[in-house]
Amino acid sequence: MKKLGMFLSLFVLMSAVFTGGNALYAASKSITITGSTTVLPIAQMAAEAFMDIHQDISVSVRGGGSGVGIAALIDARADIADASRSIKTKEIKLAREKGIDPYANVVARDGIAVVVHPDNPLDSISIEDLKKIYTGEIENWKDLGGPSKSIVVISRDYSSGTFEVFKELVLEGAKVIDGALMLASNKAVSTTVSTTPNSIGYIGLGYLSEDVKALKVDGVKASEETVKKGEYKLARPLFMYTNGEPKGIIKTFIDFIFSPQGQKIAREVGYVPVK
């Protein structure tokens, strides 16, 4: 009888584990998100709100850059890759070689804001002059009507999706000047520009604050309205890449991002909703 009792107790415990009847099973339901620091604020706030609703699902969110996120998806180390650029052809090829099928979920839109120190007298800059600064053709603010001060050029690093888009839209493939400060995140760029009087950098809309001054680009201010209307030229979609069309709890999370609450979060952190 004792053996029978022990068997029944074990059966009940195992049934609870495998049928989702207790917290042990619930704790195993997890989602890992890695990648773009631009998309990071959306992912973090959405994860918190999502876990308040779905308390049986754990969502882990990390930054690192778009390239890092996409690499993690390809290597099956992440369920979702945040990216502020489109996946590259060579990344798609590598993914498919490893049995991964990257699927693009456009969760919001963004404008890349060009920022300077608040004391900088300039209010606007052209894309042409921006390119000249970042390629070294213009090295002093006096050439743009500012003070006679050397320009401190600040850029995102090479793993950044924001860098890739800036390189395409502004540099047109040209190389960033040697000596530019190549920083790993939007926050690092914003902080450095805010404490370096003669600097210039670029960040996602979600990282704008009173600590930096956003310049108009070709006479247009970076804002939700100008991005939505297509008036701001340095605009781009923001992605959450999954392995194939989202399924299971991954679909539940992506659906939450597209829900009114999820899109409200995108707007609250400074980006442009897509729904």
- Which tens digit of pLDDT belongs to each residue from 232-271? 999 999 999 999 999 999 999 999 999 999 999 999 999 9
Which of the four pLDDT bands, split at 50, 70 and 90, describes residue 28?
low
pLDDT of residue 178: 94
2-109+237-268 and 111-235 have identical folds: yes
pLDDT per position as a tens digit, 74-132: 999 999 999 999 999 999 999 999 999 999 999 999 999 999 999 999 999 999 999 99
Evaluate whether 208 touches 118 at the Cβ level (below 8 Å).
no
- Strands 102-116 and 213-217, sheet pairing: antiparallel
Evaluate whether 241 touches 104 at the Cβ level (below 8 Å).
yes
**Helix axis angle, 260-268 to 248-258, nearest 10°:** 60
Per-residue pLDDT at 3 exceeds 70: no
pLDDT per position as a tens digit, 167-179: 999 999 899 999 9
Q: Which tokens in the block code for residue 75?
A: 């290597």
The 10 Å Cβ neighbour count of residue 7 is 10
Q: Which residue bears the tokens 């989202």?
A: 246
Per-residue pLDDT at 24 exceeds 50: no
Say how far apart CA 109 and CA 143 lie, in whole Å.
33
SS3 47: helix
Per-residue pLDDT at 45 exceeds 90: yes
pLDDT of residue 7: 38
Per-residue pLDDT at 17 exceeds 50: no
Which of the four pLDDT bands, split at 50, 70 and 90, describes residue 38?
very high
pLDDT of residue 27: 40
pLDDT per position as a tens digit, 203-239: 999 999 999 999 999 999 999 999 999 999 999 999 9
Secondary structure element (H or E) that encloses residue 264, with its range: helix 260-268
Evaluate whether 222 touches 111 at the Cβ level (below 8 Å).
yes
**11 half-sphere exposure, CB direction, 13 A CA radius:** 6
The 10 Å Cβ neighbour count of residue 255 is 11
Q: Which tokens in the block code for residue 172?
A: 């047109």
Classify domain 2-109+237-268 at the CATH class level.
alpha beta
Q: Which tokens in the block code for residue 30?
A: 């997890």
Q: Which residues, in sequence order, are CB contacts of 198 under 8 Å at separation 6+?
A: 117, 120, 141, 147, 149, 150, 151, 152
| For the chain, domain boundaries | 2-109+237-268, 111-235
The superfamily in CATH containing domain 111-235 is Periplasmic binding protein-like II (3.40.190.10)
Which of the four pLDDT bands, split at 50, 70 and 90, describes residue 1?
very low
- Strands 152-156 and 199-204, sheet pairing: parallel
